[in-house]
Amino acid sequence: MFPSPRSDDWQRIVDEGVDSVEVKILLGPGPEAAAEALTGRSTTRWRLRRVYLLDTPDLDFARSGVEMRLRRRARGRHDLTVRARRRHGTAHRPQPPGARVEFDVLPGAVWHTVELRRDVDASLAEAVADGTAFPHELLSPEQEEWMRTAAESLSPEALATTLVVHGPLRVSRVGVPGSRFRAARAHLEHCRYPSGRELVEFSTKCLPESAAEVAEEVTRFLASRGVAPSRSHATKTAIWLDELARSASTVDGALPPPRPRA
């Protein structure tokens, strides 16, 4: 599923000097079956996150390779991430000071991700999600400056005046006990898309120098628990963007821009 631990691919990842590597794989079984097999618990307590995509109605920023993602996490916390993603080996993008750089390794693909993330005020985040505040109000000056640079094909006005809220995407998450998967901290995520499509993803983060061994352990762990990988692999966001693009000509769940507040 992943390159051999002796493959030069892993050394090239180490040589890039990234902060971390996330090994990801989609699973074939449904969420409850996968959770029971991998966590060892017959009853699983999933934690729900709601994820919103801030973009133009036609997803112009995402099409240019830049995403703005608002998450509602556990206990009412919210964060906003601005990130640029590209397949490893393609042209480099501008990288702002203080950005976190990570490789996402999937079977058959490696993605290079640069992101700026910050916690945001809960009341403002909820107002944006409800359509009563402008999405660009969530951006820090550093995030906004980077958006203008990274999405160079778009006019500056698009960032301030045409952003809408797409979503939410409902993502349920459960941890895999360290007593069962010892290589690194691991999670299962269950995504339910607006169309009704579902997917289950196993993921684990590690340092670049241990990524080869961790990926090998992921393969071994899934096989030992009788959990089959999916026949196809893609990132959760890529699937969501595909769904949004397919429904762009109809009512797709995007909230219109709010009116200016008095």
Average pLDDT (55-68) is 87
Which of 75-84, 148-157, 238-247 is modeled with the greatest confidence? Answer: 75-84
pLDDT tier at 260, thresholds 50, 70, 90: very low
pLDDT tier at 63, thresholds 50, 70, 90: confident
Q: What is the pLDDT of residue 179?
A: 93
Asked if the structure places residue 257 within a domain, the reply is no
Asked if the structure places residue 169 within a domain, the reply is yes
Asked if the structure places residue 5 within a domain, the reply is no
Q: Which residue has the higher pLDDT, 97 or 186?
A: 186
Residue 246 has pLDDT above 50, yes or no: yes
Asked if the structure places residue 11 within a domain, the reply is no
pLDDT tier at 90, thresholds 50, 70, 90: low
Residue 196's domain is classified under what CATH number?
2.40.320.10
* Residue 247 C-alpha from the chain's centroid: 21
Residue 85 has pLDDT above 60, yes or no: yes
23 within 8 A of 211, measured Cβ to Cβ: yes
3 within 8 A of 11, measured Cβ to Cβ: no
Asked if the structure places residue 27 within a domain, the reply is yes
Q: What is the pLDDT of residue 165?
A: 94
Extended strands (E) in the chain: 20-27, 47-55, 66-72, 78-87, 100-106, 109-119, 164-176, 186-192, 198-206
Q: What is the pLDDT of residue 261?
A: 44
Quote the percentage of the chain above a pLDDT of 90: 54
Asked if the structure places residue 15 within a domain, the reply is no
Q: What is the pLDDT of residue 262?
A: 36
Number of domains in the chain: 1
Q: Which domain holds residue 184?
A: 20-207+218-246
Asked if the structure places residue 254 within a domain, the reply is no
Q: What is the pLDDT of residue 234?
A: 83
- Give every CB contact of residue 161 below 8 A, 6+ residues apart in sequence: 257
pLDDT tier at 108, thresholds 50, 70, 90: confident
pLDDT tier at 153, thresholds 50, 70, 90: low
- If you average pLDDT over every residue of the chain, what do you get? 87
Record the pTM. 0.86
Asked if the structure places residue 194 within a domain, the reply is yes
Residue 220 has pLDDT above 90, yes or no: yes
Q: What is the pLDDT of residue 195?
A: 83
Residue 118 has pLDDT above 90, yes or no: yes
* Strand partners of residue 67: 83
- Cα distance between residue 232 and residue 94, in whole Å: 31
